[in-house]
Each structure stands twice: as structure tokens, then as C-alpha cells.
Structure 1
């Protein structure tokens, strides 16, 4: 076995971010992911983000759909739906993030799928889950961040809540979906039966907010934004220095006892106001003011050397340019290069989980729209060139699919 998920076929009907991020995680580790897109315009994210060289492709889609085969299919066409159901019969996983009930109307929902394939793992990602009063509401990332309470605890103290810098509700939903799929596949190994995986982005955010929700349930105190600070631990936030901001995380009493002498304030160790984490929290404003005064006496670079030498967790607040040139990023090869047939060489983030024996890899660039139609129909369904040509004439691949898609030899 070269990749952990080799031999697993995933039909990815999802769009935007949550579902595609899930299928990317699976594809990076060897799953055969077939990205199925609307035949006329392709997946919605083909129009998002910033254009790449050549002006046709964009960075959003290409970074999110590596390692996948591309298939264009018109699910509004009866023959298109029939093709997809034949593929479901042979697949291991179906992944979708339409509004709940959408695929049922096409005869392609979970109940219909398992009638044809009892072993199918059918994963549905939605904003609020497959039941409940919010079931039918649209669930874009911003809406879920707002409804879940995530925005209410993000931002500067006393200010309005802000959206997280990344689409955290989508990304968490994608990761939870990948986990759910793997768990369901594990069960299928033992029982032979597939199942429905219901992933709610709302509940994903609630899981991230678990400790904050726990504090509210215990105290009844509604939390608000705290900037970079973290209420359970102090000091645990950013501070200004003479050059750039510094991120500091003193998470244990041992670190506190090492930290105070390191910054030239040994008297703080035994000060009863700060002798324990609870005491420090009770006297938070006075301690933060004192530490800020101290950190302004030196540059970030000077403090970094002092704190690293003392074993204190410290870091710089890097922008994207600084991240790309970070020595750790370069040493680990965290950015990889892939050749795209239209945009040329692209750099993108590599596989985030490293396995010693069966590591994931970025093997191919994101597919062009409908690039692998013929290949999938031939290899998965066993159709001949004549049968594929006949299907193309029916309009199953859309009104603009009379010519064959780009073949690998043409790339």
C-alpha cells in the first residue's frame, strides 16, 4: 500500500469550501476523488478568488481541487442522473453539501443511493444539520460563524465581534466530514454496511467553542471578545515591543516561575496577586499593564532570544510574506509546487498530516472542467468510446459538450 486510502472511490458533488476541503484531505491520501461539476459553468468556486496566469483559472479552485479527476455532468438531464446513479453503484463514498433534500428531489439522495449500493457511505454537509427548524436555511460560513456565537467572542475587547480571518466554519465542517467518512468506512470494513454521515457546520463551531460554552454553562456569564487574550490562562496574549508585536503563552506555573526572572521581574513570582493562575486572572488588568511596560523596553528580536533561551513559548505575528519565507516552512517543505496545464507552475500548501510509512502527496493539479469524463466513464463504468459518444449526443454532459474533453495527451 502506497497511500492509506488507495482503492477508495469518492464521488464529490460538493461545492464552495466545506465539501471540497473534505475531499481534498481524502484525495491527498490516495482516495480516487471524482469531482462532479455542473456542465455549463462548473463549480461555483471557479469564479471566486484571483485569476492565475492565462486569466482562465483562479487560485481558489486550483488550490482546493488538487489530486482529483474532473467530470462535467448535467444532473437536470435524466441521462446525467442515470450516469451518476450507475457511478454510485460502484463508489464507496458520496459527498455533497447542497441544501438538505436537494438531491432527494433528483432521485439521488441517501435512501435512493443505498437501495442501489448497501455499502455506500453518504456524507451530507449542511449549515445546521439534516433536521431541526433551521434545516432548510442556507449556511454560508459567515452565517454559521454568526449563529454559532463564534463572532461574538472574536475581536477586540469592548468592540464589535468580527469574522475569523479564515472560513473556519467551512474548514471545520470539511475536517469533521473527512473524519466521519473514515469512521463510516471503518465500520463498513467490519459489517459491510454503509451509512449516512450528517455533518452540521453549526455543531462543528460549537465543538470548537466547547470550553467557552462550558464556562458559560457553569457561571452564566456571557463571554465577549478578548482580542488575543485567553481567559483561562494568563499571560497568554500578544504584547507590543519596541519593534513588532510578540505572542506570549505562559501556560503553567513552572513556566511562570521561569518567565518572571527571564524578563527581569523575579519579584512577580511570589507576589500574592500573581502567585497562581487564578490570582493572576483576578488581577488581570494590573498584570497586563506591568508586562506591557516591560516588553516596551526591548525589541521583539531581543525578547525572542531571551524567552526562547528560557524555554518560554514565544512567537512573532507573521504576515503571509513572512510565513512563506519562514525558516521552518522552508526546512519542512511545507509549500509544494505543481504543474497546471493552463496556469503553469503553482505553489500551494502541502499535505498537513505526515505519515512515516504511507504519506500523502500532491500528485496532480486541479482538473479542467470535464477533463476526465471519458476516462471515468471508461474505467469506472466500462463504457466504450461509441457509448460515450452516444451519451454526449444526448446532452447528459451539457449543451456544450459535443466535443470530447481535453485528453491527457493534449495537456
Structure 2
């Protein structure tokens, strides 16, 4: 039994934000039917790396889905989609604003055949406003939202986050919104339209910085690995490799100082409270850096961990996938793909005691499940499927 195994999701999305949302739902049992053009959605060509002709990007992102190749511009293709929507709980799309309306498969059209539908549209800037028609990829939204302006080394112009955080955040908000709407439907019996913008997703995770700006009028700047609200809370060089340190309270500060050989800083009026440490940030960081250079990372780990000081190593990806905690948690799972063969990937991250998620099937080939979905969901016979294929409505 899976938590969402009674849900059917029609996934019209491509690239990352939408597919990430549908993968979250699929990981916990939802039947996700990915509607694709005959050539496949755009991320199938994103690479390298590739597994043969399949991009690793697509293969790792789109597990637990079926693929139906459908021409939505074809009258029979549109009609077939709406028939599928009659039997669905969720429609998810991230096309350019207005595209689904032009195709005749927007919320209004789908709601006519399925009043209980949850229709989720993800876009760069939302369904209204002066930026609604702008094309948006993750980089653009990171830039417009202010995310780039606060990311990077001090004094820099800012850098893109190391992952596509605007896409991923929008995908998470979309999955959360879908689940909230499904819960509401249990009470009202009605579906609803969800408008998820990548821009507002970034504002959501920047809310602390935006709130601080409203409070003091100081424009946040890139701080490297440091954090404006707390310190010490950043990385330092040791005699071997860098160490990440987080001192989250004044109580922990009093424990921390003697451990690093600086007991005199414990009650120093310049550093006794977090606010005072912030005021005197430059002199404090210089003193701490000098102290950390006296020992190796391993020596500091032996001193700080037993005392409960949050600390860690800066691991590369090749280290992370062999990390003992990752192994102990079984966070990486294996899956057999028809082209890629046996592959490893990150498993569903939320552990549920009664209805755990899992990787039930690999990412689909283009149109791999067209016939089986039409048979199972619509009860189509071979002759009707053959007629649709002959007409060019299905791939």
C-alpha cells in the first residue's frame, strides 16, 4: 500500500519544476501519466551525461511514471486527453502562460468534464501581472528574485545556486499545493485551480532576508558560507580540509570557546552575545580562523563532536554517495532501466512508517505506455487505438 495509490495525475509538464512535483507524488504511489509529444519532452536531450540515447537528467528525474505520446494539437489527441482527464484527480502543467488555453485543455475545459479536478499550473512569474508572458528558466528567476544577489563570495556580484533551486522550490510548492487542494476536495467535493510561480517560490525561501530588509533597511549581500543572523556559522580552513561550524546560541558559545583554545572570548564584551558577535564580526572571524589553523580537521572533529558542537566536512558528491550515514539510511536505491541498465539514484526522502514511498518503475521511454494506458483508463480496443495512431493523434 502506498499513501497516494488512489490518485491519478496527468502530467503535461517538462524540464524540471513540474516533473519534480509529479515525481514527489509518484514516489508515494500516485499513478502519474506523463503526456509527451512524439519526440519526447525537452529534458530527454539535456546532457551529457547520457545512457545511450537517454539523458541521465531525464532518467533520474522521471521515475515512477508512465509515458503516453499524444499530439494535443490534433482534434483526436485533444479529445483523448480530455477523456483521460475525466478519470484523473490532478492535471499538472508548466507550459508558457496561455498555451493550455490555446490548446483547449485549460482548467475551464478540464473542469467541464471533471469538476473535481485539481489543475496545477507552474510558471516563471505567475498567471497574471506584467511579467506573465515572459519565458523563464531557473537562472532567470534566480536572477529576478534576488537569489543570485545574496549568493556567492563577499564583494562579488553574486552567483547562481549550485542546483536549480527556483525550479525545485516551485516543484515542492506545487506538490504541497496539490496535496492541500486534494484535502480540501474531501470536504467540498470540488476541485480548484493552483497558480504556482517560480518567482514566489523564491520569495518564500528568501522571506527571512526580505523580513530583515524591512526591519533595518540594509540590503543583504553575498556572504560566502557565512550567515547574517548567526555567528560563528560558516566554514573555516584547518591544517587539512575545511570545516563547517554552527554555533546557534549564546549558551553553546560558552562551551565552544574553551574547546578551540580561546576561553578568553567567552565573556569578552565584544563577543558575549550573538548581536555583539555580529557587530564585531571581522575581528572575531579572524581570531577563529587563526585558531582553526592550529589543528587538522580530524583533530577538531574529535574535540567538537563529543561536546555537541554542530560541525561537518565539506564533502564532494563522490564522497557523499559513499557516506556512511547515506549508506546506513539506504538513501540511494537501484533501479533497472531498459536502456541505462542498473542505475543508482536518490530514493524518496520522506520516511513513512506505514506507507513508505519507493521506486516502483524506471523513467519511461517515449510513448512506452500509450497503448496500455488507453486500454486500462479508457477501455479502448485495438481497432480504436490503431485508428488514433493512423490519424496521427497518438505516437
Common fold by TM > 0.5: yes
Specify the alignment match of 1:258 in structure 2: 255
TM-score, normalised relative to structure 2? 0.99
Specify the alignment match of 1:43 in structure 2: 41
Deviations 1:97-131 (A, max 9, x none): 01111010111001111111100000000001111
Equivalent in 283, 286, 289 of residue 286 of structure 2: 289
CA shift, 1:51, in A, is: 3.9
Specify the alignment match of 2:245 in structure 1: 248
Specify the alignment match of 1:7 in structure 2: 6
Specify the alignment match of 2:120 in structure 1: 123
Specify the alignment match of 1:404 in structure 2: none
CA distance in 2, matches of 1:51, 1:156: 29
After the TM superposition, which residues 170-189 of structure 1 pair with which residues of structure 2 at under 5 Å, given as runs? 170-189=167-186
Deviations 1:287-344 (A, max 9, x none): 0000000000011111111110110000000000110111101111111000001111
After the TM superposition, which residues 46-85 of structure 1 pair with which residues of structure 2 at under 5 Å, given as runs? 46-53=44-51, 55-85=52-82
CA shift, 1:52, in A, is: 3.8
After the TM superposition, which residues 333-372 of structure 1 pair with which residues of structure 2 at under 5 Å, given as runs? 333-372=330-369
- Runs of 5+ consecutive residues of structure 1 not aligned to the other structure: 402-411
Specify the alignment match of 2:94 in structure 1: 97
- Runs of 5+ consecutive residues of structure 2 not aligned to the other structure: none
CA distance in 2, matches of 1:50, 1:162: 22
Aligned residue for 2:54, secondary structure, equals coil
CA distance in 1, matches of 2:336, 2:370: 21
Deviations 1:362-396 (A, max 9, x none): 01100010000011000101111111111111110
Aligned residue for 2:96, secondary structure, equals coil
Deviations 1:235-260 (A, max 9, x none): 00000001011000000111111101
Equivalent in 135, 138, 143 of residue 138 of structure 1: 135
TM-score, normalised relative to structure 1? 0.95
CA shift, 1:267, in A, is: 1.2
Aligned residue for 1:196, secondary structure, equals strand
Specify the alignment match of 1:375 in structure 2: 372
CA distance in 1, matches of 2:303, 2:121: 50
Aligned residue for 1:173, secondary structure, equals helix
Moved over 4 A (4+): none
CA shift, 1:21, in A, is: 0.2
Deviations 1:193-228 (A, max 9, x none): 000011011000001011100111111111110000
Equivalent in 266, 271, 276 of residue 274 of structure 1: 271
Aligned residue for 2:278, secondary structure, equals helix
Specify the alignment match of 1:300 in structure 2: 297
Aligned residue for 1:66, secondary structure, equals coil
Aligned residue for 1:346, secondary structure, equals strand
Specify the alignment match of 2:163 in structure 1: 166
CA shift, 1:50, in A, is: 2.4
Q: Report the CA distance shift for 1:295/1:51 in structure 2 as closer, same or farther (over 3 A).
A: closer
